[in-house]
Structure 1
Amino acid sequence: MKPLSQLFAALACALTALPVLATDSTAAQDWSLSADGAYVLDVRAGLAWPRCVEGMQWTGKTCTGKPLLLDRAEATTLATDRWKAEGVGWRLPRAAELQRLVDKSLSPPGLNPILFPAAPGQWHWSSTSNVSAPSVNPYTYGNIAQGRAGDGGRQAAMINGWAVNLSTGEARGDAARASKLPVRLVRPMLVGAGK
């Protein structure tokens, strides 16, 4: 009877591990390196990520230099200027795209150091905007008496932006747009160019 229970225990362990193995191998298939090694290609999303944040340079083995810290407006301008200069759709990534870079299988979670060597694991700017602002009826007596005009939510959206912590994957919409944060731009994968 004991060998039978051991067999069931081994079978249960093996079946429990199957989804984890399938998830890891599927996730690994989504990522590859460009032919020159300077970009991480997200095959599923069709995106190319530079291995280094802005301000750092790819040496062929690692990223060197210091991250360029920009406020939200400077980061957006950088992406626009690069798009115009190179003719490639560079942009600030959305919060969900940055979160996808965080490898939760690592302990602690963060960017995979093989794909993104020497990457700063801190808050990074995203292009995600606050899309929900509380509605205020300007004709309601309570709002008039308290001086609410209905634009408080929009004012907060102009002051704050979305950032993602690449050490944890946490995204927050209350980052002051004047904050100086690292920037990791993204662009579409170029078909047939190997990057």
Structure 2
Amino acid sequence: MIFLIFKKYAYVICLSAAFIGGAAFADGPRLMHKGPIAIDLLGKLEWMRCSIGQFWEEETCKGDPLKLTLSQVPEVAARFEGLDRGGWRLPTRDELESLVSENDRPPMIKEKTFPMTPPEAYWTSEPNFFNARNHWVVNFYTGYSYGRVFPNQPQYVRLVRNRKKIRF
């Protein structure tokens, strides 16, 4: 009888730990930030903390983010090539979806890491597999992604680059 009760509580504890551990991991220290760059430790990426059109000042993003058509993005991204190590690009759908956070209210992104993010759609680099005329966006109002946006519809942009190993 005691073993059965112990087993029952052990099961509850293990089940609770599985859920709590998963949630803690999802909201855990995946992202580090310092200045205008956020580092994704799991994805091996570096993110601009501000949306295109904003600038980093006094530990936050200031200015008005710009909505761009998909054809405008490469030209704007090229302007950042001279900064630091360059390599800035549009994120893939999976990369951008990794920034979605389950907040109580929009925007559905970690606001401490990505301050002043508009709760709207952001471009990804991926066309819709089923309809190549459309592209995928991640909407930080809902936290969902959609593959029905035409390239000429202006959306917000957050750039990312692959993290390079630093050798000492």
Q: Which has the higher contact order (CA 8 A, sep 6+)?
A: 1
Q: CA contact under 8 A between 1:102 and 1:168: conserved in structure 2? A: no
2:36 maps to 38
Q: CA contact under 8 A between 1:90 and 1:185: conserved in structure 2? A: yes
Which runs of 5 or more residues in structure 1 are unaligned? 134-156
1:69 maps to 67
2:127 maps to 129
SS at match of 1:21: helix
**One-letter amino acid of the counterpart of residue 29, structure 2:** Q
2:56 maps to 58
CA displacement 1:140-190 (0-9 Å, x = unmatched): xxxxxxxxxxxxxxxxx34x3221102333222211211121100101224
SS at match of 1:174: strand
> In 2 relative to 1, CA 60–13 (structure 1 residues): closer, same or farther, beyond 3 Å?
farther
Q: CA contact under 8 A between 1:99 and 1:166: conserved in structure 2? A: no
Matches within 5 A, 1:1-195: 13-27=12-26, 28-33=28-33, 36-83=34-81, 85-86=82-83, 87-104=85-102, 106-108=103-105, 110-132=108-130, 157-158=132-133, 160-192=134-166
SS at match of 1:63: strand
Q: Matched residues in 1 for 2:91 and 2:97: separation?
A: 10
What TM-score does the superposition give when structure 1 sets the normalisation length? 0.71
> In 2 relative to 1, CA 103–176 (structure 1 residues): closer, same or farther, beyond 3 Å?
same
Deviation at 1:13, TM superposition (A): 4.9
**One-letter amino acid of the counterpart of residue 98, structure 1:** L
What TM-score does the superposition give when structure 2 sets the normalisation length? 0.81
Q: Matched residues in 1 for 2:8 and 2:114: separation?
A: 39
Q: Matched residues in 2 for 1:19 and 1:80: separation?
A: 44
Q: CA contact under 8 A between 1:101 and 1:166: conserved in structure 2? A: no
Deviation at 1:11, TM superposition (A): 5.3
Q: Matched residues in 1 for 2:37 and 2:44: separation?
A: 12
SS at match of 1:111: coil
Q: CA contact under 8 A between 2:49 and 2:115: conserved in structure 1? A: yes
Q: Matched residues in 2 for 1:54 and 1:17: separation?
A: 41
Q: Tell me how large the CA RMSD over aligned residues is.
A: 2.6
**One-letter amino acid of the counterpart of residue 78, structure 1:** V
**One-letter amino acid of the counterpart of residue 76, structure 1:** P
**Counting helix residues as a fraction of each chain, which structure ranks higher?**
1
Which runs of 5 or more residues in structure 2 are unaligned? none
Deviation at 1:12, TM superposition (A): 5.5
Moved over 4 A (4+): 7-13
